[in-house]
């Protein structure tokens, strides 16, 4: 039996469509979330709902202003 792609997308991947800043308590409170949105998905710790690599205190953010 084959799965319907539309059904799979709409019903099984909702977790991955949510913004990381919505999932992480730390990111949801962050003043930089408008620019960062919780950072990269490949470095997000889904088990502990936190970003492994936060650039907030690095020169990357200092250079963007
Ligand atoms: S800067 Fe850090 S704490 Fe703020 S939203 Fe990005 S990853 Fe989260």
pTM of the model: 0.72
- pLDDT by residue, tens only, the chain of 65 residues: 899 999 988 888 887 888 999 999 999 999 989 988 999 999 999 999 999 999 887 776 665 54
49 lines ligand 1 (CB under 6 A): no
Q: What is the pLDDT of residue 28?
A: 94
pLDDT value of residue 62: 63
Distance of alpha carbon 21 from alpha carbon 32, whole angstroms: 10
Distance 34 CA to ligand 1 centre (A): 9
Distances (CA, A) of 24 to 10, 21, 36, 62, 64: 22, 5, 12, 23, 23
Strand, helix or coil at 53?
coil
* Residue closest to 30 by CA, chosen among 48, 52, 58, 54: 54
Nearest atom within ligand 1 for CA of residue 61: 1
**The predicted structure's pLDDT at residue 18:** 87
């Amino acid at each position: 039996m084959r799965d319907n792609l539309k059904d799979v997308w709409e019903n099984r991947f909702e977790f991955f469509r949510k913004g990381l800043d919505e999932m992480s308590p730390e990111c949801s409170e962050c003043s930089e979330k408008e620019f960062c949105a919780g950072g990269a998905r490949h470095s997000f710790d889904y088990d502990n709902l936190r970003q492994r690599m936060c650039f907030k205190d690095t020169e990357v953010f200092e250079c963007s202003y």
